[in-house]
Structure 1
């Protein structure tokens, strides 16, 4: 009886203003609109970032300052923010409609006179605040680990943020993203170094399995190099030159659990490897 009365009251309340909506039935076939969380850096300081993200043509759901860290909510999570642009991950395109965007206050990088990029690290306190926010978002929306990604992952041909100094491993240690086991990576890296690298088509297939949009023509063109570099920037930031090598192959093999069967397996990595 109480359930019937509650449903009737809700129907009447929903009908205020002449529109009657019965809310007594709820479908089981649904989930959160939020399928992805995309991380960015702003390339500017806090005042300029706030101005750009609140009065310009781009926006994000959250902005996190550096020191002291403050989390600003600029767009309600049930609304679309304009932060991803042309993008793709795991076959889903134009991710603004299905993601939460988080901007981190950071200059990103500066360039030297000879064109070298000098990257700026993220303060620990800022990453602490980000992890707390991510845990809350994951709890409420059920975002899987593989869908917390960087702008460079969803648009590798045009974006490099959050950059090679973003501490993805800290997110992994917090249980937010998957991270490859280091011993297994060395084992597969040695296997590829001794037995030879897979062909470019294998790298392309493995990167696509991770979620990247990548050509599948078997050629090491500029687009494929950019995607490889984006992957390396996350999992092997010490060198992200876009070259397919044994360590990159090892990382992919461990993350995807897939590697060519005709490459001889290395000995236990505890014996030491010289690469």
Structure 2
């Protein structure tokens, strides 16, 4: 009798294998590729069981390392050492093969198509425990715990502005700074151009977003701003770089630098 595989994380109940994975790829062709990024998703499907089956269907060509049900039950689908197919076309801090660099967690939630219902408490607790365990074992820094929407702005919007990023950071997972209050003042929006927009784009690029620093507030810039808001200033997600967004970005960059030197 073949022994059942053991999950990499003690917070996973068992392995429910997906065939959709491959070898982690190396940018320079040398050394051992270790994941140094954690990426969180929602399934975006109304029924958790159907989402799980889709992630394990070879036809889908998608997968994740872990799957978290609404009741907090956790399954491992792909070994952490393997490259799961969860990020798609994506970019962060110069990394364009996010699948090779990351561990992905799918959280059962209907998402925006289903009205973005709140994540249940048992699911939040289970996901936080799982994330903390992964980050500790792989030494994943707080600034590299990201949303799918962060690495694929405009193309993806999960796990959504309802995800409790603040609580995760307070629990030792991810980076957070208190969002600046929303108010009046100068703002930048689609169609604006010039050195101030270029400086804004440079700050987003410094944080890690894939954005051209060309001084044009175009569709891509708007998508990056919305992705940032969805994660770090969720009270208002509109793609407009108002004072609150810019101040929060500056504060987060300062916190990121502090995290990297700690």
Global fold match (TM > 0.5): yes
Rounded Cα–Cα distance in structure 2 between residues aligned with 1:179 and 1:30:
32
Q: What is the match of residue 42 of structure 1?
A: 43
1:67-88 CA-partner distances (Å, limit 9, x unpaired):
x210110001111101011111
- Cα displacement (A) at 1:159: 0.4
- Cα displacement (A) at 1:31: 7.3
- Given the two structures, how large is their TM-score scaled by the length of structure 2? 0.77
Q: How does 1:1-275 map to 2 (within 5 A)?
A: 33-44=34-45, 45-55=47-57, 56-66=60-70, 68-110=71-113, 118-181=115-178, 185=180, 193=185, 199-257=196-254
Contact 2:109 2:116 survives alignment (8 Å): no
Rounded Cα–Cα distance in structure 2 between residues aligned with 1:127 and 1:79:
25
* Partner-residue secondary structure (3-state), 1:89: coil
- Cα displacement (A) at 1:209: 1.2
Contact 1:32 1:141 survives alignment (8 Å): no
- Cα displacement (A) at 1:193: 3.9
Q: Give 4+ residue runs of structure 1 displaced > 3 Å after superposition.
A: 29-32
* Structure 1 runs not aligned, ≥5 long: 1-28, 112-117, 259-275
* Alpha-carbon RMSD: 2.3
Rounded Cα–Cα distance in structure 1 between residues aligned with 2:116 and 2:39:
20
- Cα displacement (A) at 1:153: 0.3
- Given the two structures, how large is their TM-score scaled by the length of structure 1? 0.73
Report how many aligned residue pairs link the two structures.
217
Contact 2:72 2:127 survives alignment (8 Å): no
Structure whose residues are more often helix by fraction:
1
* Structure showing greater Rg: 1
Contact 2:69 2:107 survives alignment (8 Å): yes
Rounded Cα–Cα distance in structure 2 between residues aligned with 1:70 and 1:257:
36
* Partner-residue secondary structure (3-state), 2:156: coil
Rounded Cα–Cα distance in structure 2 between residues aligned with 1:99 and 1:110:
26
1:148-174 CA-partner distances (Å, limit 9, x unpaired):
101100000200000110111111111
Rounded Cα–Cα distance in structure 1 between residues aligned with 2:96 and 2:120:
32
Contact 2:145 2:175 survives alignment (8 Å): no
- Cα displacement (A) at 1:32: 6.4
- Cα displacement (A) at 1:181: 4.2
Rounded Cα–Cα distance in structure 2 between residues aligned with 1:125 and 1:219:
44
Contact 2:142 2:173 survives alignment (8 Å): yes
